[in-house]
Every structure is written in structure tokens, then in C-alpha cells.
Structure 1
Amino acid sequence: MNMAIHKLDLGEFDEIDYNLIAIHTALEDYRLAFFINQKLPIILGKSKDEVQINIKEGETKFSRFYYYDSENAISWNLIQNKNEVYQDTKDTAQNLFSNITMEISTKVYLLPEFKKADYFLKIENTQDTINVSKIKEILNTIESISTVYTVDTNQIKSKNNLIF
């Protein structure tokens, strides 16, 4: 497999060349991707490269659906914002239940500053080719979506979680 080496200029990270749209919905990821594909001229497909995050409780992966529009050189990513890390803990108290293993789950967010968002639609390399308000308008016509809004990328403290 030929891996391209990508040298990073440190100035690159200051420059955000993507739009981020937060989506609130109870839909499962593949259903949401299906509806978005119906409404927008894109074909999001499940990516094997899930977005992995490590926290002290363990590691978790966020599902990702991806489409590359080669004509306009635009990458589309639909990423899950919420997941859980499961840990087994042994109950050390000496009692009836002393050898029971309990599973504790910790909620993990891709962008903890936006806990209410279920998914993010990250549209990369957009420049002027994309009308974000039109996209939001279209997403809002999907019945199971309750809210759609643009995230001000300057508000994101965990920007590194969006580099993938």
C-alpha cells in the first residue's frame, strides 16, 4: 500500500477549511446517512476508518460516513458525536456480591462542548462552492431531524478531534 507522506505546516491548523453542521436526531447513523443521501447530491458510505478517541476510562470509536466529491474536491463526513466507553469493575467490598463484575459506562463525546448534538456533518475544502445555509435548509426537511445548526469553529476547544 502506498502511503503518501503529508508534511504539516504548523500554520495549517489555524486555518479551518471546513464547515461543521451539528445535527440533533434520534436516528441511527446509517439511517441518517441514507436520508441525507436522498436529499443531497452525495453518496455517504460507511468508512472503515472510524474516529478513535482515548480518554482515561478507555478508548472509543465514533462511526463515520464518508463521501468524496471529486468534481468539486469536497470531502463530506458524517460523524457520530456520542458514544460510550465500557469498563468492568470488580466490586471489592466483601459481601454477598463480592465477586460480581459490574460494567460501568462513561459517555464520551467527539466534541464535548456540543453535548446535545448527535452527529456532525463536516464539509471540507468548501471555499465558495458550497451554500451552507441551503444545506441546512435541506437537512431540516428530514423528518427525524429536530435541529440543524452551524457550529462556529472558533468555539471548538477539541479541534484536534476533527483532524482525520
Structure 2
Amino acid sequence: MAVHKLILDDIFDEVDCTLIAIHCTIEDYRLAYLLNKNLSTNLARRRSNLDFSFNNATYSIFEWEDSKQLINWSLVSNICKTEILKKHNFNSLFSAEEKVIQTTYLVPEYKAVNYFLKIDNEFSLSKENNILKKILEVQQVATAYSIDINQLKSKDNLIFS
């Protein structure tokens, strides 16, 4: 009996999406509103946050499905701050607990990035530059730039569906 072996490594290596890093200090809902205004999108808050149970982190996410062009847009926070209780074991009669803020990142390679805009369609360079130009027109955005998603080590964290 012949053995048939399928090799699918090359199929899953390339991801067809555009990823834009956004540096700004405003709240997520405000950024979504300003992007909707400048990009003519309709980003809306997802009912549940993006939840990673392995590190107890949740990230806010806004989504929009463009039914005309069949493109999904996602705005997701890169930073999750959680408050944990840390116990100190001293050789004393009383145990001490301290509240510590733990910061976790969706994409740890880009710790300075506040938000990612993921568009599930690879645009031409001119269309991508046009989107970047419109994002940079938002006064509260410090900077924005494209990231090659295939170069990321943690690109699996950007699978939202």
C-alpha cells in the first residue's frame, strides 16, 4: 500500500493582511471613533474582549466587516494591565501582600505600540499609504506605520476569529 504525504508548510506561511501599528495615548473607544471619521469605516466594540487565558490578559477589540469589499477590519489594543496580589514571605509573624500592576503585550516585539489596525486584505502599496496618511491626519496619533506580519514571532496572537 502506498503512503501519501501532504506537506502544507508553504500554504500557511504567508498571511494576506495589512497590519498597521498606531502610537497614541487616547482611549480605545476614542481612537475607534476618530478612525471611523477619517477612514469612513464603522468600527464597533466586540461584545467580548480578546481573551488569552494562558497569561490572564484581555485586550479590547473593535471590528467592522465591510460587506461591499468583503474585508474585515480590526482595531485591537496591544497593552493589557492587570492588578495582581504579590505575596512577600518574610520571616515574620505577618504575611505581607502588595498590589502590583502587571503589563502584558499582545505583540511583545512591539512594546511601544498602543494599538494595531489589522485589515484582512492585502492592499496595493498606494492604497496602504493612503490609509496610513489618513490615520496620521488624526491629531492625537503620534505615529503610525506598516508592519510585515510574516516577520513577527507572535503572529498567532493576531488571529481573532
Which residue type is aligned with residue 85 of structure 1?
T
The normalised TM-score by structure 1 is 0.84
For 1:41, the equivalent position in structure 2 comes to 40
Residue 69 (str. 1) matches residue 66 (str. 2):
yes
Q: Measured at CA, do residues 12 and 45 of structure 1 come closer, stay the same or move farther in structure 2, by a change above 3 Å?
A: farther
- Structure 2 CA distance, aligned partners of 1:10 and 1:43? 35
Report if aligned partners of 1:44, 1:76 keep a CA contact under 8 Å in 2: yes
Tell me if structure 2 keeps the 8 A contact 1:64–1:77.
Answer: yes
Displacement of 1:109 in angstroms is 0.5
Answering whether residue 148 of structure 2 is matched by residue 149 of structure 1, we say no
CA–CA distance in 2 between the matches of 1:71 and 1:86?
42
Runs of 4+ more than 4 Å apart: 9-12, 127-130
Preserved contact between residue 89 and residue 96 of structure 2 (Cα < 8 Å): no
The one-letter code sitting in structure 2 at the alignment partner of 1:153 is I
CA displacement 1:18-63 (0-9 Å, x = unmatched): 10000000010000001001111211000123222245xx411000
Shift of 1:95: 4.3
Structure 1: distance between partners of 2:87 and 2:109? 32
Aligned runs of 1:71-86 on 2, under 5 Å? 71-86=68-83
CA contact 2:18–2:123 (8 Å) conserved in 1:
no
- 1:131 is paired with a residue of what secondary structure? helix
Give, as a single letter, the amino acid of the residue that structure 2 aligns with 1:28.
Answer: E
- Equivalent residue in structure 1 for 2:133, among 127, 131, 137: 137
Larger Rg: 2
Alignment match, 1:123: 119
- TM-score for both structures, normalised by structure 2: 0.85
State the Cα RMSD in Å. Answer: 2.1
- Aligned length in residues: 153
